[in-house]
Amino acid sequence: MNVKHHSVEVNGLRLHVAEQGEGPLVLLLHGFPESWYSWRHQFAALADAGYRVVAPDQRGYARSDRAAGVEEYSLPHLVGDVTALIGALGAEDAVLVGHDWGAPVAWTTALLRPDLVRAVAGLSVPPLPPTGMPSTGSSRRTYGEGYYQVYFQEPGRADAELAADPAATVRRLLVGASGDNPDRSWPRPWIVGEGEALLDGMPEPAELPDWLTAEDVAVFAEDHSAPDAFTGPLNWYRNIDRNQGLMSAFHGLRIEVPALYVAGDRDMVTVLEGVPELRGMLPLIAPKLHADITLPGCGHWTQQERPKEVNAALLDFLATL
């Protein structure tokens, strides 16, 4: 890949960014537990089409700085990083593309700063403005204490389990939540059984799927090799309830910029309570919705599992702007 790497100072933190191409800015925002490398298949396709493609390691991740306090990973902080990054890159505006946790960040930035966001695309996670996702109390009532977002709330526990063997964590998570998981009970909510460890429901895969190589696993594992590598990412989840209050003033706002949504039909997010109904409301939440695309056989890691289809959808969307 002809990708350049450098650092940008935003809001007192140094963010590592990967960049390729020239033209209108397209910011690619990764999810959990990933890094800029999640977008490895998108750089050349978008850059060759005439776009400046930039993918940061977001706050707390990989080569970027970790904020000191848990409360510094709130949704307003994450949106603030994106808005500052657009300016620090010398751009007046950007198209945002977010996957997993990057999707709520992208959707919310578009909601709050349409002056800076030309258009927005979300992969896997549909918009739930303005808070990004339901409260942990709501999730606890629906799924119990073992639901992964609830499990993540206890400081240190998930951090240590995920960091014990980063390569195994990456393999088990990426294959386990993918469309290639051999367990045909998926897609289903990620719930940790009583007395089980976090990844017990995602055993070590016998082999890697075609879209994931040993080299890919090694890159992600290196990105998460520090003892505290997962604490920053988990702190995003530890602000879910704080976000309910911080974002309450923005209830009722709609996403008024052009929008795109893409998800796989084997993605666990699509079967969470309320998501099918939320998806049905997309034209109301985002009145300028360009398309709502379902990728057959694709699991949670949308742009990694189906790069050709995702690239085609993004280029078709970008061409309309």
Measured CA to CA, the distance from residue 315 to residue 318 in angstroms comes to 5
How far is CA 145 from each of CA 105, 192, 222, 270, 296, rounded to the nearest angstrom?
26, 8, 31, 21, 31
Measured CA to CA, the distance from residue 288 to residue 251 in angstroms comes to 19
Residues 6 or more apart from 317 whose CB is under 8 A from it? 119, 121, 258, 260, 290, 291
Query: Do strands 289-295 and 259-264 pair parallel, antiparallel, or not at all (unpaired)?
Result: parallel
Instruction: Tell me: cis bond preceding 209? Omega within 30 of 0 counts.
Output: no
Residues involved in catalysis: 100, 300
Q: In 3D, which of 18, 17, 33, 27 has the Cα closest to residue 300?
A: 33
DSSP SS3 for 157: helix
> Would you state the structure tokens that stand for residue 144, as one six-digit string?
């119990």
DSSP state letter for 248:
G
Burial degree of 41 (CB within 10 A; 0-12, 13-18, 19+): middle
List the Cα angle 251/247/102 in 5-degree steps: 105
Measured CA to CA, the distance from residue 50 to residue 53 in angstroms comes to 9
Q: Are 175 and 209 in contact (CB under 8 A)?
A: yes
How many separate helices (H) and strands (E) can be counted in the chain?
14, 8
The amino acid present at 239, given as its one-letter code, is N
